[in-house]
Amino acid sequence: MIKIVNSLFFIFTTFFLTAQNSQLQYLFKNHKDGYNVFRIPTAIVTTSGKILTFCEGRKSLKDNGDIDLVMKTSADNGKTWSSLKVIWDDAKNTCGNPAPVFNKVTGDILVVATLNNDRVFLLRSRDEGNNWEKPVEITSSVKPPNWKWYASGPVHAIQLEQNNYKNRIVVPCNHTVVDIDKHISHVIYSDDNGITWQLGGSVSKEKTDECTVAELANGDILLNMRNSKRNLPNRKTTLSSDGGITWSSPEFDSTLIDPICQGSLLRYSFSPDILLFSNLKNKMKRKNLTLSISKDNGRTWAKQVTVCAKKSAYSDIVVLNNGDVFCLFESGILLPYAGISTKIIKEKIIEE
């Protein structure tokens, strides 16, 4: 009887995780390329226009266990893609939470990631993702002794472009503290192209979680956070005027509702002032992935564009060199985890 139940469970789980919408353009498909499940998508674009997409290659839907970091690239704005490449495989350990950034000073690709949601590492490529150096551990620089669970991203990191902190690399993260399981958002940063890392500020209140960061037109940094305190089903935000060292008291964003899920914040352009945010516009369910557009530094989000009205979950967005926005997101029919899809939002839709 136990064998029969286990067999039925496997069949049903496989069905749920492979049910796909034919209208979706899957880049990472479950049960392809040696992995049963793909989750946690992130993306960046280099100066040459090359798109690099990263995610976790998993044996199952579980968030722990044998998980690898994998990637695919495109040199033609997403029309064609490379084969899958594994960039971090540490036996049965969990290599996860990728937070990539393109360093415009050196041309390197940097990816901050975690091992077993405990130790923090830096991965580096000096040739746009073709080859990767051995991961370097940076835990001692960015994780105090009384911190427990730790996650980088999972979303792209940023490199600041203005004022006193120009070229600083800022990575959004979150953690828990010993004896307190409630998550807290924080950032880490590097002022020397990723050679050394320092711990930035933590948000003052608990129950902030996975977060995403963008630079504002005046040089301040906006941190947009997943909110697990459900008195209001909205995202939380906080500001830093010192490059991520300290943060203002977090506030609810009245426009950006959220069902407790990850989101992605992106500076589209400084002139005109356009800020983008992708998340699930639904109070309870993981569905209706929406791209929100702000032209006043995130104070209001006057326009929304539907990316995927059906089941969807984690996402990332990046500006292509032609001005279009590339969306990378989890999706499916019965569950939003049948694979990782892509969609292009045209430049004219963003700027009109």
Q: Which residue has the tokens 């983008």?
A: 276
Number of domains in the chain: 1
* Cβ atoms within 10 Å of 8's Cβ, excluding its own: 10
**Predicted pLDDT of residue 23:** 67
Q: What is the pLDDT of residue 228?
A: 84
Its domain, for residue 49, covers 2-351
What is the rounded CA–CA span in Å between residue 96 and residue 32?
19
Span 195-247, pLDDT tens digits: 999 999 999 987 899 999 999 999 999 999 999 877 889 999 999 999 999 99
pLDDT of residue 8: 39
Tell me: pLDDT of 313 over 90.
yes
Instruction: Read off the amino acid at residue 186.
Output: H
How much is the pTM? 0.93
Count helices and strands in the chain by DSSP H and E runs = 3, 24
Q: Tell me how far apart the alpha carbons of residues 61 and 181 are, in angstroms, rounded to a whole number.
A: 22
- Per-residue pLDDT of 26-47, as tens digits, reads 999 999 999 999 999 999 999 9
CATH number at residue 127: 2.120.10.10
Supply φ then ψ for residue 14, to 5 degrees: -60, -40
